[in-house]
Amino acid sequence: MRVNKTPPQQSAGYIGSIDTSTNASTDWTDVVSTDVQDSKTGSAMPAGLQFVSIGVRNTSTTGSAYLKLRARGGAADPVAAEIEVPATAAIALPIAATVGDVITTIAYKKAAAGDELIFLLGLSDPTI
């Protein structure tokens, strides 16, 4: 007899955000947990946390932004087959139960230097 099992869902132990308004780069930019500001304390998150949920809004009115669920390979990586966030759009990704390694680095790419992406991120300790 085969028993179907649902893997346990992990919830965020930490909720925070990053400020992309000061980043004028239109190249891929890596984000790790220490780049994220804890919404409860106002301090940087501890090192080594995994991303379990990502919400992002693209404030650009003209260009798409892009997201990777891994570190960039290089600043000029192509955007083909990456997650697109169209101009003025928002997306939410519950990524806690993705197959494979835990996600400890994400990367984003803005369309223009003055664009801002608004991130709301859920993180947790990958050892729990």
Residue 5 maps to a domain = no
Residue 44 maps to a domain = yes
Q: How many domains does the chain have?
A: 1
Is 59 in contact with 116 (CB distance < 8 Å)? yes
Residue 11 maps to a domain = no
| CATH code of the domain covering residue 89 | 2.60.120
| Structural domain boundaries, residue 88 | 16-124
Nearest to 16 by CA among 43, 30, 29, 28: 43
Nearest to 66 by CA among 108, 118, 21: 108
Give the pLDDT of residue 95.
87
Read off the pLDDT of residues 11-30 as tens digits, 9 standing for 90 and up: 668 999 998 999 999 999 99
Residue 9 maps to a domain = no
Between CA 74 and CA 78 the distance in angstroms is 9
Residue 2 maps to a domain = no
Q: What is the pTM of this model?
A: 0.87
Residue 114 maps to a domain = yes
Read off the pLDDT of residues 80-128 as tens digits, 9 standing for 90 and up: 999 999 999 999 998 877 788 889 999 999 999 999 999 999 999 887 6
Residue 3 maps to a domain = no
Give the pLDDT of residue 61.
94
Give the pLDDT of residue 83.
97
